[in-house]
Chain A
Amino acid sequence: MLDIVVSISLVAVVLSMIGIVYRVIKGPTTPDRVIALDSLGIGLISVIGLISILMRTSVFLEVILLLGILAFIGTVAFSKYLEKGEIIQRDRDK
């Protein structure tokens, strides 16, 4: 029973991710793509979570946490780049 539910959810998540991929490709602006990539990462997190349930294992929880951090860092870095034109600012005092 649980397996069927999880499989259905997996299909739903994958379908939503395909929709997000359409947004990544289409655009039209860069912030659209960044937001879409961020949600793609979150979609990946839920896929891995669902797969862990299917596999009856807890070793992939670290992967989920890591993906959360990576998605966050990536989005922040992109946002800073869009705002200021660079990611790591130079030390101006020198």
Chain B
Amino acid sequence: MSLLHLAIVLPFLSAVFIPFLFKGLRNIHTGWFVLLVPLALFIYFIQYMPLTRDGQTVTRTLEWIPSLGINFIAHVDGLGLLFAMLITGIGALVVLYSIYYLAKEKEALHNFYVYLLMFMGAMLGVVLSDNLIVLYMFWEFTSISSFLLIGYWYDRERSRYGAQKSMLITVFGGLSMLGGIVLLYIMGGTFSIQELIGMSSGFMTDPLFVPALLLILLGAFTKSAQFPFHIWLPDAMEAPTPVSAYLHSATMVKAGIYLVARMSPVFAESELWLWLVAGFGIFTLFWGSFNAVKQTDLKAILAFSTISQLGLIMSLLGLGAAALHFDQLDDNVYMIATIAAVFHLINHATFKGSLFMMAGIVDHETGTRDIRKLGGLVNLMPITFTIAIIGCFSMAGLPPFNGFLSKEMFLTGMISVFELDIFNLSTWGVLFPVLAWIASVFTFVYSIKLVFKTFLGKPQFEKLPKKPHEAPVGMLISPLILVALVIVFGFFPNLLSNSMIKPAVESILPSLVDAGQTVKVDIYFWHGFTPELFMTIGIILTGIVLYSTLAKWESIYNRIPHRFTLNGLYDGGLSRSETGGYRLTNGVMTGFMRTYLVYIFSFFTAILLSTLLITDGFSIDTSNLAEIRSYEVILGLVLVSAAVTILFAKSRLTSIISLGAVGYSVALFFVLFRAPDLALTQLVIETVSVALFLLCFYHLPEISRKEERMKFRLGNAVLSITVGLTMTLIAISSFSSRSFESISQYHIDNVYELAAGGNMVNVILVDFRGFDTLFEICVLGIASFGIYAMVRFRGVGRENE
């Protein structure tokens, strides 16, 4: 176990101690101890930066289940390290923020920090695992810990609803992903991502390639809240705000982005991949930003904004795959999409984390997150306002913040679609820049709305549950650090370019690096009068117009009835599947034994008859038949008439006596077929069981002793005739196709020689096959004990009920 493995599982290990620290040291906020973990990890991961900058990677293997090819392989490259630093860095800030956000007296902090550390470790595992099964394990850990964190205030109904919804959707995706992983293993014979990348060129023609691609993408889309699986994210806002900031803006929702980026080298040569990733991404971008405008809750706006920004990154990753088709170019312009994706990934984590913390502060200090009640907070909360305006302007893509740079690069990437002439992009590709532009306008509108409605305008403090005031310093530290990064990355983007972005892009597009291309990351504020600059100006102008006329067109959102929204579909689908399942069970499980017998017998005859038909197994062979004697015919007639009497008798007593007659006839058959021991036993047993039947009959209540013929039911008659026919056919065919001699000659020869007996049946029972007899005795013993217990202890348990 190397230090790297220890670093990945450190959050899990330290989570064990959290409850003890919480119970033992009540005076100190538990978060202070937790803070050490992400800090230490962040410092540890910084050490890898020089390595990845030079294009090196670090791989450490810990054997787990080597016989199945499942080993805990930790692999650090540019992409993994970028994510690991996001996770630990923002993790540290979020823990710091949560120390001031959650009161140590009122909250169950031990639960909170255990879940949070579990999540952190799981996320690190996802981004640093090279083995797909281990990745999947950590992936499900993130789903479970996210479920626990969303339902942290489990006494609230909305929290439980949100937790269940996110669990159902992400686990659905996770399981699909597992299916994709298994298909990849079948294709490549390994679970290691690096090895799969090495052999990816042969996968394109594999019939399993498309299913594997779809399943992996399903996993990534559900986790990253892509349309139409985005619906869980707004409901996950019931979690405490630090959780929303950490999981639902910076880390967990980017696990799907990570997966797409990581698997790009395997799948990205395919047309399907480019269209699906880019298409779903761009539509999610549009849909999320369109819906964010109508929200009135601060966190709901941020949730839809997260969805939309994740769509943006996803579409860039999809278009970035186009670069792979031009690897002969020296200056590959299509690479800019991937660079923009990585850059925006970092930017989004910084400004969205700070915005969520800002929303938490507003909630904490005013008691509400509803923008209809808020307003005019700028004078009371100047620092929070500064955080909000920087975060929102960066989100809207305004200079001089980092959002502007990545949005420009995004637009450049989208415009580059015009120059692509692969995969029909020249015809339908025009949708990409158009949708991107419209979505950016909406992004601008909701970003402005978020700041202006909260902090500017008329103060209406009488509506607020608390008297608003500025947040404590501790709560402001984390968002201030994040907005400081927003500004620093805005002014000096090239701090990131060589240290973080370049290695990450190289690990997303390794085949280009192998082909000798260098990734050139140069980010400038000013690139001259390019189309994207005019697009940005257009966005700002249209956005201002739309925002000022918001009241006039806002009503279009109410046009769609709830039933036809995706949430309505989800709720309806869930309740319909519930009632459907209930109805199905109710219909099938009637509680009547006769219904179940009908199922059993129908299935039984159906499979037997169909097997007989399909295999053409029926055969009849008369060469081996014995001659028929007259007694047997007479006795057979007696037996049949007794059996028929059972069915058609008017009284039960007649049926019992007829049953006895059947038994005695069988005993006579035993006599005729020379089986004296069987005849003896049959006679005694038949007598005893008829006596027992009479006993039961005698104890029937008067009312059910009514003399009544059994009702005729056509279905039952048909079924019973079919069963009889089936068994007859099978008996005839099995008799006719006897393939070898019986082994009874051995018994005949050896009954005296080896076992010293004259009665062959008895010798077989107690000598040749005595083992069966032992357990038949056992069965009889159990039956007699059971009868004794039922008679002796009847009614005992009822008193307690």
Binding site for B on A (CB under 8 A): 10, 14, 24, 44, 47-48, 51, 55, 57, 59-60, 62-63, 66-67, 70, 74, 77
Do the beta carbons of B684 and A66 come within 8 Å of each other?
Answer: yes
- Closest CB of chain B to A35's CB: distance in Å? 15
Do the beta carbons of B634 and A48 come within 8 Å of each other?
Answer: no
CA distance A67 to B687 in the complex (A): 10
User: Given the complex, which residues of B lie within 8 Å of A60, measured CB to CB?
Assistant: 671, 676, 679
B725 at the interface (CB under 8 A from A): no
Are A67 and B683 CB-contacts (below 8 A) given A44-B668, A51-B671? yes
B746 at the interface (CB under 8 A from A): no
CA distance A39 to B691 in the complex (A): 18
Do the beta carbons of A63 and B680 come within 8 Å of each other?
Answer: yes
B664 at the interface (CB under 8 A from A): yes
Do the beta carbons of A51 and B672 come within 8 Å of each other?
Answer: yes
Do the beta carbons of A70 and B687 come within 8 Å of each other?
Answer: yes
User: Given the complex, which residues of B lie within 8 Å of A70, measured CB to CB?
Assistant: 683-684, 687
Do the beta carbons of A57 and B631 come within 8 Å of each other?
Answer: no
Q: Using a CB-CB cutoff of 8 Å, which residues 645-685 of chain B contact chain A?
A: 657, 664, 667-668, 671-672, 674, 676, 679-680, 683-684
CA distance A55 to B668 in the complex (A): 14
CA distance A60 to B673 in the complex (A): 12
User: Given the complex, which residues of A lie within 8 Å of B674, measured CB to CB?
Assistant: 55, 57, 59
Return the contact of A51 from the options B631, B657, B667, B691 (Cβ within 8 A): B631
Do the beta carbons of A62 and B676 come within 8 Å of each other?
Answer: yes
Do the beta carbons of B684 and A59 come within 8 Å of each other?
Answer: no
Do the beta carbons of A74 and B687 come within 8 Å of each other?
Answer: yes
Tell me the total A-B contact number using a CB cutoff of 8 A. 35
Do the beta carbons of B683 and A66 come within 8 Å of each other?
Answer: yes
Chain A residue at smallest Cβ distance from B630: A7
B 569-611 to A, binary, CB cutoff 8 A, 1 in contact else 0: 0000000000000000000000000000000000000000000
User: Given the complex, which residues of A lie within 8 Å of B671, measured CB to CB?
Assistant: 48, 51, 60, 63
CA distance A57 to B676 in the complex (A): 10
CA distance A23 to B657 in the complex (A): 14
CA distance A45 to B228 in the complex (A): 84
Interface size class of B (residues with CB under 8 A): 10 to 19
CA distance A49 to B26 in the complex (A): 97
Do the beta carbons of B680 and A62 come within 8 Å of each other?
Answer: yes
User: Given the complex, which residues of B lie within 8 Å of A44, measured CB to CB?
Assistant: 664, 668
Do the beta carbons of B679 and A14 come within 8 Å of each other?
Answer: no
CA distance A55 to B684 in the complex (A): 23
DSSP majority for the B interface? Answer: helix
B 683-713 to A, binary, CB cutoff 8 A, 1 in contact else 0: 1100100010000000000000000000000
User: Given the complex, which residues of A lie within 8 Å of B668, measured CB to CB?
Assistant: 44, 47-48
User: Given the complex, which residues of A lie within 8 Å of B634, measured CB to CB?
Assistant: 14
- Closest CB of chain B to A51's CB: distance in Å? 6
Chain B residue at smallest Cβ distance from A59: B676
Chain A residue at smallest Cβ distance from B629: A54
- Closest CB of chain B to A25's CB: distance in Å? 8
User: Given the complex, which residues of A lie within 8 Å of B676, measured CB to CB?
Assistant: 59-60, 62-63
Do the beta carbons of B683 and A63 come within 8 Å of each other?
Answer: yes
User: Given the complex, which residues of A lie within 8 Å of B687, measured CB to CB?
Assistant: 70, 74
The 3 nearest A-B residue pairs measured at CB: A59-B676, A63-B679, A70-B687
- Closest CB of chain B to A40's CB: distance in Å? 9
User: Given the complex, which residues of A lie within 8 Å of B657, measured CB to CB?
Assistant: 24
CA distance A69 to B664 in the complex (A): 15
User: Given the complex, which residues of B lie within 8 Å of A77, measured CB to CB?
Assistant: 691
Do the beta carbons of A66 and B680 come within 8 Å of each other?
Answer: yes
23 contacts across the A-B interface (CB closer than 8 A): A24-B657, A44-B664, A44-B668, A48-B668, A48-B671, A51-B672, A57-B674, A59-B676, A60-B676, A62-B680, A63-B667, A63-B676, A63-B679, A63-B680, A63-B683, A66-B680, A66-B683, A66-B684, A70-B683, A70-B684, A70-B687, A74-B687, A77-B691
- Closest CB of chain B to A82's CB: distance in Å? 13
- Closest CB of chain B to A67's CB: distance in Å? 6
B 621-650 to A, binary, CB cutoff 8 A, 1 in contact else 0: 000000000010010000000000000000
Chain B residue at smallest Cβ distance from A71: B687
User: Given the complex, which residues of A lie within 8 Å of B680, measured CB to CB?
Assistant: 62-63, 66
CA distance A66 to B672 in the complex (A): 17
Which of A14, A44, A63, A70 counts the most chain B CB atoms within 10 A?
A: A63
CA distance A93 to B674 in the complex (A): 50
CA distance A57 to B671 in the complex (A): 11
CA distance A77 to B676 in the complex (A): 26
- Closest CB of chain A to B331's CB: distance in Å? 105
CA distance A28 to B657 in the complex (A): 16
Chain B residue at smallest Cβ distance from A24: B657
- Closest CB of chain A to B17's CB: distance in Å? 68
- Closest CB of chain A to B630's CB: distance in Å? 9
Which of B634, B667, B674, B676 counts the most chain A CB atoms within 10 A?
A: B676
User: Given the complex, which residues of A lie within 8 Å of B631, measured CB to CB?
Assistant: 10, 51
B 42-62 to A, binary, CB cutoff 8 A, 1 in contact else 0: 000000000000000000000
CA distance A57 to B585 in the complex (A): 61
CA distance A48 to B679 in the complex (A): 11
CA distance A63 to B674 in the complex (A): 12
Chain A residue at smallest Cβ distance from B634: A14
Further 7 A-B residue pairs, CB within 8 A, beyond A55-B674, A67-B683: A14-B634, A48-B668, A60-B671, A63-B667, A63-B676, A70-B684, A77-B691
User: Given the complex, which residues of A lie within 8 Å of B664, measured CB to CB?
Assistant: 44
CA distance A55 to B679 in the complex (A): 15
User: Given the complex, which residues of B lie within 8 Å of A10, measured CB to CB?
Assistant: 631
CA distance A35 to B463 in the complex (A): 101
User: Given the complex, which residues of B lie within 8 Å of A47, measured CB to CB?
Assistant: 668
User: Given the complex, which residues of B lie within 8 Å of A55, measured CB to CB?
Assistant: 674
Chain A residue at smallest Cβ distance from B660: A37
Chain A residue at smallest Cβ distance from B686: A70
CA distance A10 to B630 in the complex (A): 12
Q: Using a CB-CB cutoff of 8 Å, which residues 393-429 of chain B contact chain A?
A: none
- Closest CB of chain A to B36's CB: distance in Å? 79
User: Given the complex, which residues of B lie within 8 Å of A62, measured CB to CB?
Assistant: 676, 680
Chain A residue at smallest Cβ distance from B654: A25
User: Given the complex, which residues of A lie within 8 Å of B683, measured CB to CB?
Assistant: 63, 66-67, 70
CA distance A53 to B194 in the complex (A): 89
Chain B residue at smallest Cβ distance from A62: B680
- Closest CB of chain A to B220's CB: distance in Å? 77
CA distance A74 to B683 in the complex (A): 12
User: Given the complex, which residues of B lie within 8 Å of A14, measured CB to CB?
Assistant: 634
Chain A residue at smallest Cβ distance from B695: A87
CA distance A77 to B634 in the complex (A): 31
User: Given the complex, which residues of A lie within 8 Å of B667, measured CB to CB?
Assistant: 63
Chain B residue at smallest Cβ distance from A17: B638
- Closest CB of chain B to A65's CB: distance in Å? 10
Which of A10, A14, A51, A60 counts the most chain B CB atoms within 10 A?
A: A60
Chain A residue at smallest Cβ distance from B664: A44
CA distance A4 to B237 in the complex (A): 100
User: Given the complex, which residues of A lie within 8 Å of B691, measured CB to CB?
Assistant: 77
CA distance A48 to B691 in the complex (A): 23
Chain B residue at smallest Cβ distance from A85: B698
CA distance A51 to B674 in the complex (A): 10
Chain B residue at smallest Cβ distance from A47: B668
CA distance A34 to B127 in the complex (A): 88
Chain A residue at smallest Cβ distance from B687: A70
User: Given the complex, which residues of A lie within 8 Å of B684, measured CB to CB?
Assistant: 66, 70
Chain B residue at smallest Cβ distance from A41: B664
- Closest CB of chain B to A83's CB: distance in Å? 15
- Closest CB of chain B to A63's CB: distance in Å? 5
- Closest CB of chain A to B691's CB: distance in Å? 8
- Closest CB of chain A to B280's CB: distance in Å? 82
CA distance A67 to B631 in the complex (A): 20
